[in-house]
């Protein structure tokens, strides 16, 4: 199977011939097709579906990921198959809806505890295959209802044909002929170089054009500053082979659906939690832009189309994404599902890792970022906190501080308002508060969650596999989900909000994090004048925001209330800021990471930070690690190999 193929079709024929040589009876194979990065083999022989040795042998021979599917003629009718599944597992898990995908022969089963059904060595899955002749796909019933998960599943389930067609096209693209063996690897910064926002990098190898992240700069209104520089001559949407997304924050994923509006039909590679979270944030971004009468760069239909083209990967899974390019995602420790992107180019000749937003220390929610790779020549690193004065206090200091502020407020009969970003910080705060309550360091008062936090938390709890070892262990093996602690209460109506404001001592987590709209402003309005209450900022406060002004000591505020009447408020509540809950590495951690990277790369590139931070960090790290380090400009093409 070595060598150059003439076309994807020819490639498929050769793959089929190779497979027929491996199996005992070649008539058992009834079809072979590309399915995204995988090769799907259809068979009437059920043994093939469960024989992991055979699957491994085929995969090694054709050098591709293999998936075996049942021939339509042997699959049981829906009702019979459903009955079998209920009979086998009704005492082990709660079974929700069951769907069938006729095209690829999958039965999609919703259960509360997927691990229990799957079993140790996948016995549960094999039992289903043998009994029903359908290949099972197990989806977790979200422990908390999530609208976004529901709608993504609906898109994928309601259009299996669209999804399969998309995957076939993607497969042909990925497995097409590789022409240039001695590749020149170049990257061009399209956004997020010497700045924060609109992160996007184009990587070209001669055979492949890959886009790493596709963000918007939410705070900027001028397109020339807000959007990635897709106007640069080396960028052409229709020439793109693959897009990889590091994490869901809009400055990394917010512009993605635009690609589909302008003709991109290729794959997006990311993790499942990133898929769910970025869809939620993109929908919210459109809603807000529409309400504010701003330019809408794409529509909901483009978000839907992009969903059909997403291929989700687990951490550590190696996948072909374009001719001569393999991708592996690794934990980045920033928000749920956030990944370091590792690309292995030209049979391993060149390896590059993109450590966009990452944290090199443990938080309650996530383990610290991965720093060991099989091979590595170039690393691209964020520099958000790259200045010498960017020092984050230790975790224990930070947790002690918030416990003290909460205790002081509650003792004097006050309420604590914590404005937070919906994705990331909010869930980390929930875990910190849950820990403080269960270890009896703060009293168990109600913790109210308001705004998009509820949805983001629902998505987070649905993906325990992507959380820290400690939290994963509690959720999966001890049936103890910290996000479901009885202290947490969702606030779902205006009346409920009023009750919280006029009620007893409590803690409130509400969006937005900078008091620029959203329920946090409403709570602020209701709580500001009572000196018993307190306001705790846990995230960066942007210039010009109400949060920034209050944090800087503003004592008199005029606001528009919910009836659009202008009101004046005296800020009598206590105001504090805690910096230690950040999802980014601070300067010390950035340097430590640069030093500990294994193997030590030849070349370090610093991006994603103010220009001065990228430059000082590059200079400093270069001295310490004795390697080349630089801070490239937007639009500069850098030849790596």
- What is the closest distance, in whole angstroms, from the C-beta atom of residue 360 to Zn ion in the complex? 15
Identify which of residues 456 and 640 has a Cβ nearer to Zn ion in the complex: 456
- What is the closest distance, in whole angstroms, from the C-beta atom of residue 638 to Zn ion in the complex? 23
Binding segment toward Zn ion, per CB under 5 A, in 125-133, 224-232, 342-350, 354-362: 354-362
Identify which of residues 193 and 523 has a Cβ nearer to Zn ion in the complex: 193
DSSP 34: E
- What is the closest distance, in whole angstroms, from the C-beta atom of residue 246 to Zn ion in the complex? 8
DSSP 193: S
Long-range contacts of 14-19 (CB under 8 A, 24+ apart): 15/39, 15/62, 15/64, 18/61, 18/62, 19/58, 19/61, 19/62
8 Å CB contact between 213 and 339: no
Backbone φ, ψ for residue 340 (5° rounding): -90, 135
Q: Which helix (H) or strand (E) holds 280?
A: helix 272-291
- What is the closest distance, in whole angstroms, from the C-beta atom of residue 286 to Zn ion in the complex? 20
Identify which of residues 110 and 252 has a Cβ nearer to Zn ion in the complex: 252
Binding segment toward Zn ion, per CB under 5 A, in 173-181, 248-256, 510-518, 554-562: 248-256
# of chain residues touching Zn ion (CB under 5 A)? 2
Binding segment toward Zn ion, per CB under 5 A, in 108-116, 237-245, 352-360, 603-611: 352-360
Task: Show Cβ contacts of residue 404 under 8 Å, excluding neighbours closer than 6 positions.
Answer: none
Binding segment toward Zn ion, per CB under 5 A, in 206-214, 244-252, 474-482, 534-542: 244-252
Binding segment toward Zn ion, per CB under 5 A, in 247-255, 405-413, 487-495, 596-604: 247-255
- CA atoms of 305 and 265, how far apart (whole Å): 9
8 Å CB contact between 305 and 260: yes
Among 276, 357, 450, 586, binds Zn ion (CB under 5 A): 357
- What is the closest distance, in whole angstroms, from the C-beta atom of residue 338 to Zn ion in the complex? 7
- CA atoms of 329 and 270, how far apart (whole Å): 8
- CA atoms of 191 and 422, how far apart (whole Å): 24
DSSP 91: T
- What is the closest distance, in whole angstroms, from the C-beta atom of residue 247 to Zn ion in the complex? 6
- CA atoms of 534 and 283, how far apart (whole Å): 32
- What is the closest distance, in whole angstroms, from the C-beta atom of residue 425 to Zn ion in the complex? 10
Among 110, 163, 249, 522, binds Zn ion (CB under 5 A): 249
User: Which 3-state string (H, E, C) describes 459-517?
Assistant: HHHCCHHHCCHHHHHHHHHCCCCHHHCCCEEECCCHHHHHHHHHCCCCEEEECCCCCCC
- What is the closest distance, in whole angstroms, from the C-beta atom of residue 514 to Zn ion in the complex? 15
Identify which of residues 171 and 337 has a Cβ nearer to Zn ion in the complex: 337
Identify which of residues 205 and 541 has a Cβ nearer to Zn ion in the complex: 541
- CA atoms of 195 and 405, how far apart (whole Å): 34
Identify which of residues 77 and 542 has a Cβ nearer to Zn ion in the complex: 542
- What is the closest distance, in whole angstroms, from the C-beta atom of residue 277 to Zn ion in the complex? 11
Binding segment toward Zn ion, per CB under 5 A, in 98-106, 241-249, 279-287, 448-456: 241-249
8 Å CB contact between 70 and 134: yes
Task: Give, in order, the Cα–Cα distances in Å from 398 to each of 386, 401, 424.
Answer: 20, 5, 17
- What is the closest distance, in whole angstroms, from the C-beta atom of residue 39 to Zn ion in the complex? 35
Per DSSP, the three-state class of 305 is: helix
Instruction: Show the binding pattern over residues 526-565: x = contacts Zn ion (CB under 5 A), - = does not.
Output: ----------------------------------------
- CA atoms of 17 and 64, how far apart (whole Å): 15
- CA atoms of 479 and 476, how far apart (whole Å): 6
8 Å CB contact between 503 and 528: no
Binding segment toward Zn ion, per CB under 5 A, in 184-192, 357-365, 457-465, 516-524: 357-365
- What is the closest distance, in whole angstroms, from the C-beta atom of residue 584 to Zn ion in the complex? 8
Residue 608 makes contact with Zn ion by CB under 5 A: no
Identify which of residues 339 and 409 has a Cβ nearer to Zn ion in the complex: 339
Binding segment toward Zn ion, per CB under 5 A, in 242-250, 375-383, 505-513, 544-552: 242-250
Residues making contact with Zn ion (CB under 5 A): 249, 357
């Amino acid at each position: 199977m070595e060598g150059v193929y003439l076309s994807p079709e020819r490639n498929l024929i050769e793959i089929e011939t190779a497979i027929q040589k491996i199996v005992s009876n070649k008539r058992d194979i009834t079809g072979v097709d590309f399915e995204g990065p995988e090769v799907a083999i259809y068979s009437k022989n059920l043994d093939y579906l469960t024989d992991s040795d055979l699957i491994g042998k085929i995969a090694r021979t054709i050098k591709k990921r293999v998936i075996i599917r049942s021939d339509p003629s042997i699959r049981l009718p829906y009702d019979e198959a459903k009955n079998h599944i209920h009979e086998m597992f009704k005492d082990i898990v709660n079974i929700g809806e069951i769907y069938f995908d006729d095209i690829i022969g999958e039965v999609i089963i919703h259960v509360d505890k997927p691990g229990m059904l799957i079993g140790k060595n996948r016995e549960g899955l094999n039992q289903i295959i043998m009994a029903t002749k359908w290949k099972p796909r197990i989806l977790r019933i979200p422990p908390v209802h999530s609208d976004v998960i529901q709608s993504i599943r609906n898109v994928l389930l309601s259009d299996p044909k669209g999804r399969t067609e998309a995957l076939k096209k993607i497969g042909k693209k990925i497995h097409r002929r590789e022409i240039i063996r001695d590749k020149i690897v170049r990257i061009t910064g399209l956004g997020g170089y010497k700045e924060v926002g609109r992160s996007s990098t184009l990587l070209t190898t001669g055979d492949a054009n890959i886009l790493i992240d596709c963000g918007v700069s939410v705070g900027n209104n001028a397109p020339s500053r807000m959007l990635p520089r897709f106007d640069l001559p080396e960028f052409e949407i229709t020439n793109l082979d693959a897009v990889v997304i590091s994490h869901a924050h809009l400055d990394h994923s917010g512009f993605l659906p635009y690609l589909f509006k302008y003709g991109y039909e290729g794959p997006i590679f990311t993790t499942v939690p990133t898929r769910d979270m970025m869809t939620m944030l993109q929908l919210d971004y459109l809603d807000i832009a529409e309400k504010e009468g701003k330019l809408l760069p794409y529509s909901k239909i483009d978000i839907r189309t992009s969903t059909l083209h997403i291929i989700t990967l687990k951490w550590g899974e190696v996948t072909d994404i374009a001719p001569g390019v393999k991708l592996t995602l690794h934990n980045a420790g920033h928000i749920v599902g956030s990944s370091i992107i590792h690309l292995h180019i030209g049979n391993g000749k060149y390896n590059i890792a993109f450590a966009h937003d990452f944290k090199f220390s443990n938080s309650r929610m996530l383990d610290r970022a991965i720093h060991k790779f099989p091979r590595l020549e170039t690393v691209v690193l964020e520099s958000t906190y790259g200045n010498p004065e960017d020092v984050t206090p230790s975790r224990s200091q930070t947790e002690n501080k918030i416990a003290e502020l909460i205790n002081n407020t509650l003792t004097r009969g006050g309420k604590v308002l914590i404005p937070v970003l919906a994705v990331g910080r909010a869930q980390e705060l929930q875990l910190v508060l849950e820990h403080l309550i269960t270890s009896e360091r703060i009293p168990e008062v109600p913790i109210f969650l308001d705004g998009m936090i509820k949805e983001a938390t629902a998505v987070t709890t649905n993906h325990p596999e992507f959380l820290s070892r400690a939290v994963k262990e509690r959720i999966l093996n001890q049936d103890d989900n910290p996000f479901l602690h009885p202290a947490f209460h969702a606030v779902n109506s205006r009346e409920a909000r009023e009750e919280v404001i006029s009620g007893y001592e409590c803690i409130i987590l509400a969006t937005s994090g900078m008091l620029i709209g959203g329920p946090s402003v409403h709570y602020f309005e209701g709580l500001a004048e009572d000196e018993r209450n307190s306001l705790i900022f846990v995230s960066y406060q942007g210039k010009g925001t109400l949060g920034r002004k209050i944090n800087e000591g503003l004592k008199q505020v005029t606001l528009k209330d919910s009836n659009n009447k202008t009101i004046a408020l005296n800020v009598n509540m206590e105001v504090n800021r805690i910096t230690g809950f950040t999802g980014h590495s601070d300067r010390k951690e950035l340097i430590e990471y640069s030093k500990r990277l294994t193997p030590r790369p030849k070349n370090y590139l610093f991006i994603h930070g103010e220009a001065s931070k990228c430059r000082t960090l590059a200079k400093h790290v270069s001295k310490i690690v004795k390697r080349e380090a630089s801070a490239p400009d937007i639009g500069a093409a850098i030849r790596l190999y």
